[in-house]
Every structure is written in C-alpha cells, then in structure tokens.
Amino acid sequence: MELEHFGWNVLTFGFIGALVFAFVEAWGLWEQNKEVWRQRSGQSLSVTWVIYGAFLMVSGALYGTSTGSIALMAAGTLVGLMHIPVLIGLYKFKGYTRWNHALLLFLFVALWFMRESPHKDWFFLAFSFGSVGADIM
C-alpha cells in the first residue's frame, strides 16, 4: 500500500516513521534481552506484558499482510521476533506461572483464528484493546 503512494506525502512520512520506531523498539528489546541474560534474572519485567507484546506485534504483522501494509508487516515481524529471546530468558530465569501458560495458549489460538478469519481488522482491534489489560497486570 505504501509503495503505491510513495512520494513527498503524509503516507510516506508515516511509513518511514513507523519503520524508524520499529527499529528503535527492536533495539530496546535487544538491550532488554542482553540485561535479562547478563543478570540471569527477569525480576524487573512483567512476563504477562512481554508475552502479550509479542502476540500484539505478530497480530499487527498478520493485519499488515491482509491490508498490504509493508510498515505493519515489517514492524510487527521485527519487533515480534525480538520478543522471542526475552521470552526465553524470562522462562529460564523467572519461570512462567499457570496464568502465563494459559495466556500463551489463548493467544496462540486467537492468532490462529485471526489467520483463518476474513475479519483480521477486528482481531487486530481486539489485540490492541487487550494490550491495555496486559499493561495493568
């Protein structure tokens, strides 16, 4: 979608801004990952928040794929992948509760339904609103 309207316009600047922000967020997650593994602890991180953040980014990539948005696909994929080493470190050093395991299962199922559904926009909206709940926990 962005490439069709590429030029000196708001869509192009938004596209570039989204990519820059995604790289900054990915860099921050990489630094967080290094700290988790260096300190061998995830004490300062919310496992729920990191799990949900990963799935939110992947849902953004799926929604971006359905709309043809390169920015959403790239940002969701890059940032979603950067969550994986953090999640592994948290599992190894902090452990997951039953709630964390249930959340993982629920979000995997929700992503599967999103992938199969023609209403990816509604799923992405639900994932976005759900991030508020993950921030609270």
pLDDT at 132 over 90: no
What confidence tens digit (pLDDT) does each residue in 61-109 have?
999 999 999 899 999 999 999 999 999 999 999 999 999 999 999 999 9
The pLDDT of residue 101: 97
Q: Is 130 a member of any domain?
A: yes
Number of domains in the chain: 1
DSSP H helices in the chain: 10-39, 47-67, 70-93, 98-116, 120-136
CA distance 64 to 72: 5
Q: Is residue 27 part of a domain?
A: no
Which domain covers residue 126, as residue numbers? 45-137
pLDDT surpassing 60 at residue 15: yes
Residue 122 lies in a domain: yes
Asked whether residue 68 is assigned to any structural domain, the reply reads: yes
Decide if 90 is inside a domain.
yes
**Predicted pLDDT of residue 96:** 96
Mean pLDDT over the full length of the chain: 92
Structural domain contains residue 4: no
In this prediction, residue 97 carries a pLDDT of: 96
Q: What letter does residue 4 receive in the DSSP assignment?
A: G
Is 99 part of any domain? yes
pLDDT for the residue 44? 85
Considering the domain boundaries, does residue 71 fall inside one?
Answer: yes
Residue in the structure block whose two tokens are 């790239």 = 74
Proportion of the chain above pLDDT 70, given as a percent = 96
pLDDT at 9: 78
- Over residues 30-72, the pLDDT tens digits come to 999 999 999 999 888 999 999 999 999 999 999 999 999 989 9
Predicted confidence at residue 134, as pLDDT, reads 77
C-alpha span between 93 and 113 (Å, rounded):
31
